[in-house]
Structure 1
């Protein structure tokens, strides 16, 4: 069961990253504009984040196994179609379909971990979950670069999508045999809630995803401002529906659980820092230092190994430290970020990937201690009937954090750079300045911890 659930997790997270290294190849082969390729990348992130809560709630209503299998089937078929796409428009459409499948399957993973495992088994299952997230995030960079470098069967960039097909089929077979069943609960999906939440998330996420590429025109600020009243309307509707005894998309009682509300806020800040770091580090490696996709991807490997090791070590540390394992994790993450900042500042134009490896390893270790214990703690008080929706909310908070981190640190980076045509040495200076913002996000996650630590398990 755990192996199947982690296979689904790996697929969903992998495809948020694997396409990044294929952008130049896709542009050349499909004669696509830069905007079209960017939409193929950002469209996945955007639609995935929009539908996570809805996917989770559908799992609560109709069974986690059923939604996991439907999502995996959609994702696998869409991956095959994306790998065979004849042009940029069809590629964008199939990437959106991939995101729909991922949003249906991913929240079910958290629901299964929360409801099917107990005691020490649950702690270990969440540890493996954290390790899988870290490995999938980095594997996207490494596997993508490797597949393009090997050019298997002469398919080039298409392999980054086609590799999902056999993995998806195996996951489907495993899910049919291992995941616990669960029938419909007789409640209707809150379609008004879906519409209001999707509208609010779209208004918030679209400017964050597309704002930098489009130069932050006026519509991005209008959209960000409009997200607030739509969000307020969603909250008001959910409270009204719950008071009438209905079945809201997100039960308001979830946010009265201190562990869940605090965990969601911490996840937003934590993933903002991580995604922002990955973004500016990739720019520094490939553009500033001139590394190829494979070499740049391999630079992330020590971070990934440390992340996985810390995730698997977290249960043992948590047995001794309790929730203060999160304090240790976020403190180590902040210390690693500070070390990377000092390294970049001291090396200046002489900075290399090898010089960054020690600090990146420390960052990865801190991240590994900060993911699985946070997820398990945030869901610890959530009732079983809301596990899918709660997993969707956590996933959405993390996705919003990632978009926010990329937007904010990307803005800092390019403002400091001044021009895309700047000399390679200027990239290291911009990277150093962006790391100051990354350190601020790491310290923010640490500062948000006290309410979570005070709450009883």
Structure 2
């Protein structure tokens, strides 16, 4: 039985928002850690030696276990309590970050990066459930709306921070500082975590070993070739792995239905798929995060490859996007979503598409101003979309389904981000040597994906 807990109304106001800040810091740490090493990778390889392919594995070793264990991480929160699993995950993240910073060889660093990814998979699925526990009504929309700007700023700051810390060589730490930065953040989160409200599923579920194995294998077979292969082309072996992964997930879906019919405890709450709202939300999330993550890569690549700009300049180009997203996420969560509901979601998609079309016509240009303005419009749209999406996707989720829903949403976000890097990055790099029209192709492709999002978002509306 779940322990008796105070309601959100009875919890001191200041601690609810302090707890939210801790949850968002944990989200930021994950996003920073998935991108910060990309810039520091060559320096790490120069210091530790090893094969050149290790540079890619410094990031892949983190991304792969994180993606495949998200669903299991959500279920662990259902079983043992979301606050407890969150604290265990943050502790593991802290210790593995220290181990990464102290690694004497590339092989050990790759191993500790995998532990980091597994710890992050225990942290991130608990965020949505804990927010739903601590907030209600308009407060929940505002809290969920804060996720968007944090994700945007973290995604932009990761490469910039990695370059700054590595170049600064603080106290002779060189590349090790990109991992040590997690230590004070983790300590801060752990200090505030006891103030969070504990929460778990009303009925204690099981881990479902067969379902866990199938889900892990299926997601791994899909994600691995996307993060390991050259994003401009996939080999026959990669296509075979992707096909096998899809087949395993089909088997997984059948296994979950059979387990539920027999009265067992499936890894995923099958009831989530008895209504069209949640499956449509998963598809929408996959497409939308493919657009946003893929485009940030395209902008950085165009600046560095097409215009020979520095890493810092490339990162700063994304600042208008993040500023726009920060402003409208707060406004939408605090005022617009409580008043207008899912109409804000469609308004956000409309603004995103307008910004993407404007970005297509921003190339070629003698001045960076047209592109910066277009990215600002895209950011404004993303900020409108994010709180409305999470509110619409989760309002039909029961307490028993929260862990499965959070794990699935975060898993498809990761999958969407990986697909976005592969598809939009490939659309750009597949152009003629990084010429301006290659960026136009990538932005036009993103606009097409955003139009599909409009259709899948319409399916999120519950039938009358």
TM-score by length of 2: 0.91
Contact 2:201–2:403, Cα closer than 8 Å, also in 1: no
The 5 Å alignment of 1:95-244 reads 95-180=113-198, 186-212=204-230, 216-244=234-262
Contact 1:63–1:184, Cα closer than 8 Å, also in 2: no
Q: Among residues 424, 444, 449, which one is paired with 1:436 in the alignment?
A: 444
Matched, 1:42 2:60: yes
1:265-305 superposed Cα distances (whole Å, 9 cap, x missing partner) = 11100001111111121111222222222222222122111
1:129-185 superposed Cα distances (whole Å, 9 cap, x missing partner) = 222222222221332233233222222222111100111011112112334255996
1:12-54 superposed Cα distances (whole Å, 9 cap, x missing partner) = 2221222222233223322344421111112222221111110
Offset of 1:363 from its aligned partner?
0.9
Offset of 1:369 from its aligned partner?
1.3
What SS class does the counterpart of residue 249 from structure 1 fall into?
Answer: coil
Contact 2:201–2:399, Cα closer than 8 Å, also in 1: no
Contact 2:231–2:425, Cα closer than 8 Å, also in 1: no
- State the match for 2:420 in structure 1: 405
Matched, 1:21 2:53: no
- What is the distance in 1 between the residues matched to 2:201 and 2:417? 34
- State the match for 1:51 in structure 2: 69
With 56-65 and 145-154 compared, the bigger mean Cα shift is at 145-154
- State the match for 1:68 in structure 2: 86
- What is the distance in 1 between the residues matched to 2:138 and 2:26? 22
The 5 Å alignment of 1:310-389 reads 310-315=328-333, 316-344=335-363, 346-347=364-365, 350=366, 352=368, 354-389=369-404
With 48-57 and 207-216 compared, the bigger mean Cα shift is at 207-216
Q: Among residues 277, 284, 287, which one is paired with 1:259 in the alignment?
A: 277
Offset of 1:314 from its aligned partner?
0.7
- State the match for 1:269 in structure 2: 287
1:229-264 superposed Cα distances (whole Å, 9 cap, x missing partner) = 211211111111111222111011101233211111
Offset of 1:455 from its aligned partner?
4.6
Q: 1:187 to 1:270 in 2, by over 3 A?
A: closer
Contact 2:170–2:177, Cα closer than 8 Å, also in 1: yes
- What is the distance in 2 between the residues matched to 1:46 and 1:308? 29
- What is the distance in 2 between the residues matched to 1:133 and 1:64? 21
Superposition CA RMSD, Å: 2.0
| Paired positions, count | 445
- What is the distance in 2 between the residues matched to 1:154 and 1:68? 33
Q: 1:436 to 1:33 in 2, by over 3 A?
A: farther
- What is the distance in 2 between the residues matched to 1:241 and 1:70? 29
Structure 2 gaps, min length 5:
1-18
Offset of 1:317 from its aligned partner?
1.7
What SS class does the counterpart of residue 416 from structure 1 fall into?
Answer: coil
Structure 1 gaps, min length 5:
none
- What is the distance in 2 between the residues matched to 1:22 and 1:281? 19
Matched, 1:450 2:455: no
Contact 1:18–1:140, Cα closer than 8 Å, also in 2: yes
Contact 1:67–1:105, Cα closer than 8 Å, also in 2: yes
Contact 2:341–2:388, Cα closer than 8 Å, also in 1: no
Structure 1 or 2: larger helix share? 1
With 188-197 and 314-323 compared, the bigger mean Cα shift is at 314-323
